[in-house]
Structure 1
Amino acid sequence: MSSDLPLSLPPPDPGVRGRDGRAQGQLEVEMQNLEEEKNRVIKEAFIRAESEMKAVHENLAGVRMNLLSLQPALRTLTCDYNSLKRQVQDFPFMLDKAITEAKQEICQVISDVSSTNQELLRKYKREMNLRKKCHNELVRLKGNIRVFCRVRPVSQEEQDSAADAKTMLSFDSDDDAVLYLANKGKMMTFELDKVFPPQATQQEVFQEVQSLVTSCIDGFNVCIFAYGQTGSGKTYTMEGIPDNPGINQRALRLLFSEVTEKAPDWDYKISVSMVEIYNETLRNLLGDNPSDKLDIKMNPDGSGQLYVPGLSEFTVQSPEDINRVFELGHMNRATACTNLNEHSSRSHALLIITVSGFNSATGNRTQGKLNLVDLAGSERIGKSGAEGSRLREAQCINKSLSALGDVINALRGKHSHVPFRNSRLTYLLQDSLNGDSKTLMMVQVSPLPGNMSESVCSLKFAQRVRSVELSASSSSSRRHENSSTSSSPTHDSIELDSPPVTPAPLPLSRASSAGSTLSSTSRTPSSSRRRSQSQLSTGRLKLTA
């Protein structure tokens, strides 16, 4: 029923229409503003996008340029890679080739070095032989047997005794080989190889001796004798004192120094023995029982050399070892008191040093011997005041020294037989009194008037000894050139110019190098000897025989 009723709306309100119009206008304004804002944002976004696009294009252009520039480098790297690849593939062959070439070069260098070494070795042998030849020629020109004289100074006690303090000896200022002696109102002249005045020092004496040491190292027999009456200074010259050693200590120091300098090419062995000749009996001064008698026999090896069976031999490595040997040997020496000296040696003592060398480079072997002889006092029996057993000792001493004079006489006279066997001293030193051995005789004299007769005897004998010459031997060359076996110097013919003389009770020695002698020492109790033997055995010494 309601549908049938007419719809009736109220008429629009003019106020409403006005508000709608205003609202519509505002919407249109806002729509306009929004449109403008939209256009502005779109424009800004476009500008920004355009700018970014431009930057991207620029970057892309840079990348393209970089790519274009990298292409040559890439091609180069590719080529290098391919080359390295080929080299890696060829490396084993290249390595083998390089190794082969290196081996060839090394072999060539080794061959050249070997040739050079052989040449140097040949020159070394030649120079070594030349040096030995020149040295031996020098010694030969000076005389195989050299004789020095040393005049001891007057002691304070002798100076206090005005009656016997005046010296009877004088020297030539222009010639150091001449000595003048006033005896019984007559001036006597003695010409030797060298005369040392009382003020001569131990070093000055040794300077004249040291050139002989190398002969021992080179394989020669060398001997040094100290001869003179009791109290003439033999012990001081040969042994000296601890603060001022004599020839023996200085020579041994030089010997060890030379041996050390020749290492490592040369390997040397130095052995030492010590013998006493007392009343014509040989005693082993380094043995456990020095009273045992020894004998001299021919070596059974067929070398013709003499040896002493049972003789103790020690290997030494330094002068300190030698000092210990000296200490034991001195304790065992026979000494006694005479009118001439409160502590006079009554025996001859021989220190025998053997030097054996081997050169690893050349194969050469050498063996030399250094005999250091301390002779008993040479005074005559009446002057020594010896009685009883001392008289027998003096007679034996004079017998051995007289036998030495006989040997000198035979050598000077070119006798077919030389009586070496007439005494133990000359028999034991036979290899040092023959052939190319070399000797130094140190004659000690006293300047006092009371000793003039003994000094005259000593100097006369010294002059006779000086006239003896032992001819140089070619065997020395053969000895040094022998590379497989060692050999001692052989003995050549003996050449003597002087007329024969009567035997004199004075000693002679043959040597080519310096050495030392043992001085007289007091006889010590057996307990001291045993103590020294113990020290010797606990030291660095090694018993070799």
Structure 2
Amino acid sequence: MFSTRKTWDLGHAHTLQELWKKDLSLDESAVDFLMSDGEEGSAFIPLQSSVFPCQSMTSDQPEPSAPHNQQLLVQALQEKVCEFQARLLSEEAGRKLQLQRLRQSHEQHVREKLALIRSLQDVVREQEAQLRKGEAVDDLFLNHTSVTPGTIRLGTPVEEKSRLQEELLLAQDRLRCRDSEQQATISRLRAQVEDLKEKLLLQAQEVNRLRSELGATDLEKQLEILVSENERLKQELTQAEGQGACPARADCRHSQDAEALRCRLAQREAELREEAGRAAELEGQLEEARREAGELEGRLGQRLRDCQQALARQAAQAPHVKYVTRTVEVESAQSKQALSEAQTRNKVLEEQLASQRQHLRELEGQLHDSQRTCSQLRAQIQMYEGEMERAQGQLEAEMQSLEEEKNRVIEEAFIRAESEMKAVHENLAGVRMNLLTLQPALRTLTCDYNCLKKQVQDFPFMLETAISEAKQEICQVIGEVSSANQELLRKYKREMTLRKKCHNELVKLKGNIRVFCRVRPVCKEELDATEAKNIVTFDPDDDAVLHLSHKGKPVMFELDKVFPPQATQEEVFHEVQALITSCIDGYNVCIFAYGQTGSGKTYTMEGVPDNPGINQRALRLLFSEVAEKAPDWDFTITVSMVEIYNETLRNLLGDNPNEKLDIKMCPDGSGQLYVPGLTEFTVTSVEDINRVFELGHMNRATACTNLNEHSSRSHALLIISVTGVNSTTGHRTAGKLNLVDLAGSERIAKSGAEGSRLREAQCINKSLAALGDVIHALRSRHAHIPFRNSRLTYLLQDSLSGDSKTLMMVQVSPLDTNVSESLCSLKFGQRVRTVELASAARKQAENSSASSSPTHDSVELDSPPVTPVPIPSARASSLTTTPMPMARPSGSTRRKLQQPIPGKMKLTA
């Protein structure tokens, strides 16, 4: 609470730096170091600095909180004093502004009242003029009608009758004029009464507003002002207590401050009295306004009474008019009737006059009510004034009690400050001893600091040098590692190429089935689906490895070749074209596509018109190879198409596609299979191929399921037979190329097959299961191979029995919704890849050297050159010196394609 301490030198107050230099013998650098963290509190409050000579010294003592709190309290008190002074000034400005607004409002009300008085005076003058005009009209009428009955009888009856009629008409006109004037007067009076009522209501509202502004509002303002003054006096009292506790050398200055505060307090009290006087003046002005309003109400009442008296006088003159009209009624019935009508109208006017009088009485009652309300408001104002006087008395009593409390607190604070000052003097000696012992330690710390500072300045250069050396070493190591990696990658690729070459040689020697895999791309509808997720990844360094994510774990599959989704039809055909051309040399070749429904088998084998698949590309390749070997060789290419639908063979190129076919053994004892009644076409150009494919596609069974919009519901086989004759040597070759588009396996729950679709799916799954059983028996080298369990396996017996080059294209979907089917297809492909068949044999008429082969210059890329091979006895029995290219029993039919007529394809036998 106190910001000053007693010192030993009352004449001069030394600062903390001077005391340290003088009493502790500290040099300038040590004093600056100690003052670096303690000078922020040297100007804590806006008093003279000599009042606080010991503040910084006491900050290191065990009990520094009390003096510091005293200083904070003094500063807070001074801030509050400034705040209250600002609030007082703002309140005074607001009060002056309010008084100015009250004066302006009062002047405005006075002007409105004067204008109202002038308007009422004008109305009264207008009514008096109308009354005088009415009296003059009545006098004139009486003067014209004041003749006696004897005078009326002096003229002739006709003249009297005409004169009376004229006077009657004149009287009626005047009566009508008078009635209209009375009606207009009554309307104006009613309007004036309504205006008076509205003005009285406005006056009452204004009185209420003035009462509220000068009553409750002023009382609340006065109470707020008094409360603020009370708080300010409390703050000044507390400050005076702090100043009273100062040492003896500051008593004079503090007494001056206290005297100044008392002067300001007296000044504020005088200002309060002036404000109270101004408030009383405003109250007097309000009373004056009320008195003027009462006088105005009296004058208005007097004017109303005068108007009522004038109306009464007008009503009293009506019987005289009736009497006059009666005196002229004696001679004419028509005049009598007019008189009765006038009397009726007069009665109506009297009733209206009575109602107007009643209305005036009601207005007088309302005026009396307004006067009573004004008197009640005056009583309330007097009551509020009494309450203000009582509040003033209570405030004075509270001020007296606060003054006594102030004196008591000052005495207690003075005693407490003396005891604290003694404790400060006792702690000062200990502080001096501590400072003497800390000075050597300070010098040591200063030296250590300078050394560390120098090391820190040198550290960035050392760090930059170390970083540059580390960068050089890292770059050198990275370059060496990159060179080593490039060399390892080159060696790895070379070894991979060699391994593939050796593997192909081994596959050829063992007669293994080659297995390729093609991953179809994701279609637009699947991309839009929220659950679509790609689960297939590829090895960038090995095109024979594929990874499938199943249940969060990657599963690796190694095949002969893997085609990613972006692989084109040309790339796929490039890998199989060497296998296709070997059928010209007399080999049996089989390529079949396997996979679930909707995985892209038909697209790979057949393609679309502008991007054909393996089938059409294979025939074009055969045409080009045959054309290159002419005229030394003469080749014949025949094509037949068959499908297996619900375990039934159907001839897709025949006249009756629904005709059931069967598989028979050749009767020549060669052991080969053939299909009696199967239609074959000899093709020589691409146009022939297109017509054959168009006819076959038109007859093939397809349907829509939940998994595929154009699902193949049967196994389709394209059988291409190539026979060649060397025109020079007479050497003959016979080869066969089977291109099989298997129907897709499907789950009934996913495809939603019902009825005939369900039976088709069951037959498809049964035939594919039979194919799996054949593959398992071949892998296990069973003595019995169950080829006859299904039409499909029975028809593919030549391709799977070791006398053929076979390739299986596994089609898979990359989506996680088909992960189970993709996993089964890839596992089946791996099992097929391990099947070892006998080496394929060429079908030729006699042993010959490699140079006699028609494709000596275009040997299969992944196999060694062909050498003469002895024909097995089972196969040689079917060939003679001039054999047919293929055993064709009498049941088979061969047709040639002719140019079809428009709209229909024509086939000739």
- Structure 2 length-normalised TM: 0.38
Q: Deviations over 1:129-163 (max 9, x none)?
A: xxxxx9x9586169641111111111122112232
Q: 1:159 to 1:302 in 2, by over 3 A?
A: same
Structure 1, unmatched stretches of 5+, are 1-133, 494-529
Q: Which of 417, 422, 430 is residue 789 of structure 2 equivalent to? A: 422
Tell me if 1:535 matches 2:905.
Answer: yes
Amino acid at match of 2:514: R
Tell me if 1:160 matches 2:528.
Answer: yes
Tell me if 1:331 matches 2:701.
Answer: no
Structure 2, unmatched stretches of 5+, are 1-501, 853-868, 876-899
Q: 1:269 to 1:533 in 2, by over 3 A?
A: farther
Does the Cα contact within 8 Å between 1:378 and 1:398 map onto a contact in 2?
Answer: yes
Give 1:357-368 correspondences, 5 Å limit.
Answer: 357-368=724-735
Amino acid at match of 2:813: S
Query: SS at 1:162's partner residue?
Result: coil
Give 1:505-516 correspondences, 5 Å limit.
Answer: none
Q: Offset of 1:383 from its aligned partner?
A: 2.5
Does the Cα contact within 8 Å between 1:327 and 1:532 map onto a contact in 2?
Answer: no
Amino acid at match of 2:523: S
Tell me if 1:197 matches 2:564.
Answer: yes
**Aligned counterparts of 2:718 and 2:769: Cα–Cα separation in 1:** 21
Give 1:143-292 correspondences, 5 Å limit.
Answer: 144-164=512-532, 166-292=533-659
Amino acid at match of 1:179: L
**Aligned counterparts of 1:285 and 1:207: Cα–Cα separation in 2:** 28
Query: SS at 2:597's partner residue?
Result: coil
Q: Offset of 1:436 from its aligned partner?
A: 3.0
Does the Cα contact within 8 Å between 2:847 and 2:870 map onto a contact in 1?
Answer: no
The equivalent of 1:73 in structure 2 is none
Query: SS at 2:548's partner residue?
Result: strand
Does the Cα contact within 8 Å between 2:748 and 2:758 map onto a contact in 1?
Answer: yes
Q: 1:472 to 1:262 in 2, by over 3 A?
A: same
**Aligned counterparts of 1:290 and 1:462: Cα–Cα separation in 2:** 33
**Aligned counterparts of 1:532 and 1:186: Cα–Cα separation in 2:** 58
The equivalent of 1:296 in structure 2 is 663
Q: 1:473 to 1:233 in 2, by over 3 A?
A: closer
The equivalent of 1:105 in structure 2 is none
The equivalent of 1:87 in structure 2 is none
Tell me if 1:452 matches 2:819.
Answer: yes
**Aligned counterparts of 2:619 and 2:605: Cα–Cα separation in 1:** 12
Q: 1:474 to 1:352 in 2, by over 3 A?
A: closer
**Aligned counterparts of 1:431 and 1:440: Cα–Cα separation in 2:** 13
Q: 1:360 to 1:531 in 2, by over 3 A?
A: closer
Q: 1:334 to 1:189 in 2, by over 3 A?
A: same
Q: Which of 388, 397, 419 is residue 755 of structure 2 equivalent to? A: 388
The equivalent of 1:71 in structure 2 is none
**Aligned counterparts of 2:587 and 2:730: Cα–Cα separation in 1:** 18
Deviates most, 446-455 or 384-393: 384-393
**Aligned counterparts of 2:638 and 2:543: Cα–Cα separation in 1:** 36
Amino acid at match of 1:535: M
**Aligned counterparts of 1:395 and 1:146: Cα–Cα separation in 2:** 28
Q: 1:250 to 1:415 in 2, by over 3 A?
A: same
**Larger strand share, 1 or 2:** 1
Q: Deviations over 1:71-102 (max 9, x none)?
A: xxxxxxxxxxxxxxxxxxxxxxxxxxxxxxxx
The equivalent of 2:156 in structure 1 is none
Query: SS at 2:679's partner residue?
Result: coil
The equivalent of 1:398 in structure 2 is 765
Q: 1:420 to 1:489 in 2, by over 3 A?
A: farther
Give 1:122-133 correspondences, 5 Å limit.
Answer: none
**Aligned counterparts of 1:158 and 1:354: Cα–Cα separation in 2:** 40
Query: SS at 1:404's partner residue?
Result: helix
**Aligned counterparts of 1:248 and 1:273: Cα–Cα separation in 2:** 12
Does the Cα contact within 8 Å between 1:230 and 1:344 map onto a contact in 2?
Answer: yes
**Aligned counterparts of 1:385 and 1:360: Cα–Cα separation in 2:** 58
**RMSD, matched Cα:** 2.7
**Aligned counterparts of 2:771 and 2:529: Cα–Cα separation in 1:** 36
Query: SS at 1:313's partner residue?
Result: strand
Query: SS at 1:252's partner residue?
Result: helix
Amino acid at match of 1:321: D
**Aligned counterparts of 2:678 and 2:834: Cα–Cα separation in 1:** 34
Q: Offset of 1:389 from its aligned partner?
A: 1.4
Deviates most, 357-366 or 265-274: 357-366
Q: 1:421 to 1:532 in 2, by over 3 A?
A: farther
Does the Cα contact within 8 Å between 2:550 and 2:819 map onto a contact in 1?
Answer: yes
Q: 1:478 to 1:219 in 2, by over 3 A?
A: same
The equivalent of 2:838 in structure 1 is 471
**Aligned counterparts of 1:453 and 1:256: Cα–Cα separation in 2:** 41
Higher relative contact order (CA 8 A, sep 6+): 1
Does the Cα contact within 8 Å between 1:144 and 1:437 map onto a contact in 2?
Answer: no
Q: Deviations over 1:155-188 (max 9, x none)?
A: 1221122321x20000001110000000111211
The equivalent of 2:508 in structure 1 is 140
Q: Offset of 1:478 from its aligned partner?
A: 7.5
**Aligned counterparts of 1:304 and 1:453: Cα–Cα separation in 2:** 40
Q: 1:390 to 1:215 in 2, by over 3 A?
A: same
Amino acid at match of 1:158: E
The equivalent of 2:686 in structure 1 is 319
Amino acid at match of 1:153: P
Query: SS at 2:543's partner residue?
Result: strand
- Structure 1 length-normalised TM: 0.63
Q: Offset of 1:246 from its aligned partner?
A: 1.6
Q: Offset of 1:294 from its aligned partner?
A: 0.5
Q: Offset of 1:252 from its aligned partner?
A: 1.3
- Report how many aligned residue pairs link the two structures: 365
Does the Cα contact within 8 Å between 1:219 and 1:488 map onto a contact in 2?
Answer: no
Does the Cα contact within 8 Å between 2:538 and 2:547 map onto a contact in 1?
Answer: yes
Query: SS at 1:199's partner residue?
Result: coil
Query: SS at 2:554's partner residue?
Result: strand
Does the Cα contact within 8 Å between 1:436 and 1:490 map onto a contact in 2?
Answer: no
**Aligned counterparts of 2:613 and 2:902: Cα–Cα separation in 1:** 23
Q: 1:195 to 1:479 in 2, by over 3 A?
A: farther
The equivalent of 1:411 in structure 2 is 778
Q: Which of 741, 746, 752 is residue 379 of structure 1 equivalent to? A: 746
The equivalent of 2:828 in structure 1 is 461
**Aligned counterparts of 1:433 and 1:248: Cα–Cα separation in 2:** 20
**Aligned counterparts of 1:162 and 1:363: Cα–Cα separation in 2:** 65
Query: SS at 2:628's partner residue?
Result: helix
Q: Deviations over 1:247-306 (max 9, x none)?
A: 222211111111111111111111111111000000111111111100111111222111
Does the Cα contact within 8 Å between 2:715 and 2:740 map onto a contact in 1?
Answer: yes
Does the Cα contact within 8 Å between 1:149 and 1:442 map onto a contact in 2?
Answer: yes
Amino acid at match of 2:731: N
Does the Cα contact within 8 Å between 2:517 and 2:561 map onto a contact in 1?
Answer: yes
**Aligned counterparts of 2:604 and 2:535: Cα–Cα separation in 1:** 21
**Larger helix share, 1 or 2:** 2
Amino acid at match of 1:264: P
Query: SS at 1:407's partner residue?
Result: helix
The equivalent of 2:673 in structure 1 is 306
Q: Offset of 1:475 from its aligned partner?
A: 6.2
The equivalent of 1:75 in structure 2 is none
**Aligned counterparts of 1:194 and 1:357: Cα–Cα separation in 2:** 32
